[in-house]
Amino acid sequence: MTIHDDGKGLGENRPNHKNTTMGLTSIHRRVQYLNGEIHIQSSNKGTEIIVSIPLGAA
C-alpha cells in the first residue's frame, strides 16, 4: 500500500525521530505486528509512506 501527499512534509516528526507522531507510531506497531515493512520518505514537497505486509500475515 502506498500513501502519498504533496504537503509540507513531516518536518521534525520525521521517521526515527524522538518526536514521531502518535499516528506514525501506531502505523509502525501495526506493520511490525503483521511482520511487514514500512518505508517513509518526506521532504518539503510531500510525504510518501509505503507499507508492505506479507500475505497470510496474521
Q: What is the pLDDT of residue 33?
A: 95
Domain ranges of the chain: 2-52
pTM above 0.85, yes or no: no
If you write DSSP's letter for every residue of 34-57 in order, what string do you get? TT-EEEEEEETTEEEEEEE--TT-
Per-residue pLDDT at 39: 94
pLDDT digits (tens, 9 = 90+) for 16-55: 545 567 888 999 999 999 999 999 999 989 999 999 999 8
